[in-house]
Structure 1
Amino acid sequence: MKIAFYGTKSYDKIWFEPMGKEYGFDIHFIEAACNRETVFMAKGYDAICIFVNDYVDAEMIDALYEMKVKAILLRSAGFNNVDVKAAEDKIVILRVPSYSPEAVAEFAMALLLTVNRLTHKAYNRTREFNMSLNGLMGTDLYEKTVGVIGTGKIGQAMIRILNGFQTHVLCYDPYPVEGLEAEYVSLDELFKSSDIISLHCPLTKDTRHLINKDTIAKMKKGVYLVNTSRGDLIHTEDLIDAMLEGKFGGVGLDVYEEEEGVFYEDKSGDIITDDNLARLMTFPNVLITSHMGFFTKEAMQAIAKVTLENAYALENGLPLVNQVGAEMVQV
């Protein structure tokens, strides 16, 4: 199998290159993202491999089908960046449903701890021997009420961590899981009662802009918000308006609505033209990281392993246990 691997970074090759050779795959690593301008580079390949900030729309599906590309290998769990319905009966889509839930949950807690206790600011200060504590006061997490939206594997890992801090965990998911040390409540109750809210749900038509001016209005003043899932769960302009009104105690974002072309790239020498992202950066109680919650050795190794196992299964006519079908997409 020949695979066109889009959006390549140096760390992708660490596992994909040797594993690909073990499977006998011919992987061509492409630095460019997958989009309408670069889809032609898939010509002559059996499959393409893409990540979260690549996309494949209906027009690209048709182009890939004409090029006889058999599969889209997602090295991620989410598939909102692919037109799954357009691919039906044309191209097989295979994903990595789980790699390291603990990696993302641990990072979500790291974001919360950092934006609450301001350790990033303290680090910068003390390097210049400024030992003042002014402006560095946080709050105890002990016995606080934390709302976890989404109780899949990552949400469950987050709940286990939060229980270690002896918080009272509320949670919401349309598909409840039995046996969790957390209390399922309605979304309204979660918004109204939580001191901290952490998002761990997929991006669907129902969850897009889940955090908006109406749901923010239900929240406590001084609430903390953490998002390590998908940027489109939050309506950015509504978040900024609420920040200006002093609604949030702190916000930790590992994802952003318009992160394509910015996240995973070095833009330190560029002028940022995204006004909303630039404005978010100005708030002293907002911490933004570059979609790195998954980024551990264990997770990267697991992503490579499952992605290539998916390709091997397709090539050898084995059951496609990680196939994404049109029935998985909400109407």
Structure 2
Amino acid sequence: MLSEPFTKRKIMKIVFYDTHNFEKEVFEKINTGFGFNINFLDVRLTDLTASLAKGADVVCSFVNDKVDEACIANLKQNGVKLIALRSAGFNHVDHVAAKKYGIPVCRVPGYSPNAVAEFAVGLLLSLNRKIHKSYLRVHELNFSIDGLVGFDLNGKTVGVIGAGKIGKVFIRIMQAFGCRVLVNDLYEDPEIKSLSGVSYVSLDELAKLSDVISLHVPLNKSTFHLVNAEFITKMKSKALLVNTGRGALIEARALIEGLKSKKIGGAALDVYEEEEGVFFHDLSNQGLNDDTLARLLTFPNVLITSHQGFLTIEALSNIATTTLQSVQQFQKTGQVDAIKVVSS
């Protein structure tokens, strides 16, 4: 229960953690229609920084924050009544602890499936056809095309793990390329099942038959290190792996071994298991302390981007609108739409 009706308050205060320049302008623009008091911080939300939210009604968290029990207890002590995630993923939040301390957690469940799915396709095309390599060569006035051979996607088998909103868009795009699509998901969607050239299969069968595998599942206990040494052993030789989901879906050390042995044909990663403190930051003058990521970057058949799959103006606008709508609803009713609430 709320200790004080929010409807009596004229302005709600929201503290944004781990804020980046690309989102500030969008949130400020969308907030003109809501009138909240927004305070942007560039520090990550942890138990050590939670006290910076003292006096705020809401904290807005991003994907690399660490919202564990200690952090949530600190937020509770400082008067925070809602944790609003400006992301679909919520693996960085201890939602059991949030329930324990009576702080609801809401998220943005579907800000732009097209943005992430289209980016996954872009990664696949660039990895396969070496577009990124050709771009760099030409800028050095090297117009050779040796070593840039790829393969036609048409007629190939593409495995899609996770057929939610993003996975569904990706499936349709691959279908348009003329690919045979194998899908693995906990639930079989009748709409997907009815598509020509698309079929549901076991995870083992998908690994064995797919020329390309793309990951679109959330990160949880059952999907942590889904792609591990055992899975890679089952994969079709020289298959390409694409991950725009969460970094820890792939066991990085196992991926490196698969690349070294040439079992894996290549990997395109927009996320990384230990991206916290690396992605979204400019380390060009500092160097990289993560030896595993540094090793991945040495492979010529690995393409890594810094978690930008969601980064379109449409997605950012949807994230801002949905987040602020959730805060407004909580202000008026003390609740948030069930589809947006993170729960055990």
**Alignment partner, residue 276 of structure 2:** 260
1:57 aligned to 2:74? Answer: no
**Alignment partner, residue 156 of structure 1:** 168
Q: 2:215 aligns with which of 189, 199, 209?
A: 199
Q: 1:147 aligns with which of 155, 159, 165?
A: 159
**Alignment partner, residue 109 of structure 1:** 121
CA distance in 2, matches of 1:296, 1:36: 31
1:126 CA drift (Å) = 1.2
**Alignment partner, residue 124 of structure 1:** 136
Aligned length: 327
Check 1:319–1:67 CA distance in 2 against 1; reply closer, same or farther (3 A cut): closer
Structure 1 letter corresponding to 2:65: D
**Alignment partner, residue 248 of structure 2:** 232
Q: 1:17 aligns with which of 20, 28, 45?
A: 28
Query: What secondary structure is seen at the aligned counterpart in 1 of 2:15?
Result: strand
TM-score by length of 2: 0.93
Structure 2 letter corresponding to 1:126: V
Q: 1:96 aligns with which of 84, 108, 114?
A: 108
CA distance in 2, matches of 1:326, 1:151: 21
Structure 1 letter corresponding to 2:178: Q
Check 1:323–1:140 CA distance in 2 against 1; reply closer, same or farther (3 A cut): closer
CA distance in 1, matches of 2:123, 2:319: 23
Aligned partners of 2:239 and 2:266 also within 8 Å: yes
Q: 1:44 aligns with which of 52, 55, 59?
A: 55
Aligned partners of 2:106 and 2:342 also within 8 Å: no
Structure 2 letter corresponding to 1:70: K
Check 1:94–1:101 CA distance in 2 against 1; reply closer, same or farther (3 A cut): same
TM-score by length of 1: 0.97
**Alignment partner, residue 336 of structure 2:** 320
1:61-115 deviation per Cα after TM superposition (whole angstroms, max 9, x unaligned): 1111111100100001111100000010510101000011000000000000001
Aligned partners of 2:57 and 2:79 also within 8 Å: yes
**Alignment partner, residue 228 of structure 2:** 212
When the two chains are superposed, the root-mean-square deviation of aligned CA atoms in Å is 1.1
1:133 CA drift (Å) = 1.3
1:178-209 deviation per Cα after TM superposition (whole angstroms, max 9, x unaligned): 12122000001101110100000000100000
Query: What secondary structure is seen at the aligned counterpart in 2 of 1:36?
Result: coil
1:272 CA drift (Å) = 0.7
Query: What secondary structure is seen at the aligned counterpart in 2 of 1:179?
Result: helix
Identity of aligned residues (%): 51
Query: What secondary structure is seen at the aligned counterpart in 1 of 2:190?
Result: coil
Q: 1:34 aligns with which of 31, 45, 60?
A: 45
CA distance in 1, matches of 2:152, 2:57: 53
Query: What secondary structure is seen at the aligned counterpart in 2 of 1:326?
Result: coil
